Amino acid sequence: MPYINYAQREITCKLVYYGPGLGGKTTNLQWIYEKTNPGAKGKLVTLATESERTLFFDLLPISLGKIAGFSVRLQLYTVPGQIFYDASRKLILKGADGVAFVADSQKERFEANLESLKNLQINLKENGLDFATIPYVLQLNKRDLPNALPVDFLVQHLRLKGEPVIEAVAPKGIGVFETFKALVKVTLAALRSGAIARTPAKA
């Protein structure tokens, strides 16, 4: 649920990048952070695990305009992909207003995608969130690799509720901002429609 800061007239939305280990979640956020105006972003926080990093930063893009006179601040998070970090994933997912699922297009990672998608739905439910209604986009990453499965096949098996699907090559920035913009669009649309409840920020 977005938090409202009445003193600063800001609404804060939490966006989480989810997906299997080493699928490109961190690369997505690093690209967004590096290409964003320094005056519009906070500090990039990195929490390292044995083989992956969890990233966080906040963003106040002027281009989003205002909702009911309030500016919109975004908090972007990645979750660790490995299943044994499930407690951390669940904690980071708490209070999410929108989710981008970063799928690894490689044939060898197909089952990992399915496992992570199932885990996402379970963790959303345990956090009191509904996968059927939460703003959500699907990114098909690593499209440049020779062992990438066909897009049609991945869409058939990974697209679960008609969500936007974006093809990506995250290290080159291909599809990164398109995914981010699609996620922001569906999240703000839900906020404007009242589908996402607004919670006043604590003093």
pLDDT number for residue 192: 87
pLDDT number for residue 85: 79
Q: Indicate whether this model's pTM tops 0.85.
A: yes
pLDDT digits (tens, 9 = 90+) for 33-92: 999 999 999 999 988 766 667 889 999 887 787 888 889 999 999 998 766 678 888 999
Residue of 91, 147, 167, 154 lying closest to 117 (CA atoms): 154
pLDDT number for residue 49: 65
CATH placement of domain 3-200: 3.40.50.300
Query: What are the backbone angles phi and psi of residue 64, rounded to the nearest 5°?
Result: -75, -15
pLDDT digits (tens, 9 = 90+) for 142-189: 999 999 999 999 999 999 999 999 999 999 999 999 999 999 999 999
Tokens of 84: 């044994």
202 band by pLDDT with thresholds 50, 70 and 90: very low
Whole-angstrom Cα distance, residue 26 to residue 31?
Answer: 9
Tokens of 151: 């897009």
User: Can you tell me whether residue 68 is helix, strand or coil?
Assistant: coil
pLDDT number for residue 196: 61
pLDDT of residue 199 exceeding 70, the answer is no
Average pLDDT, the chain: 91
pLDDT above 90: percentage of residues in the chain: 73
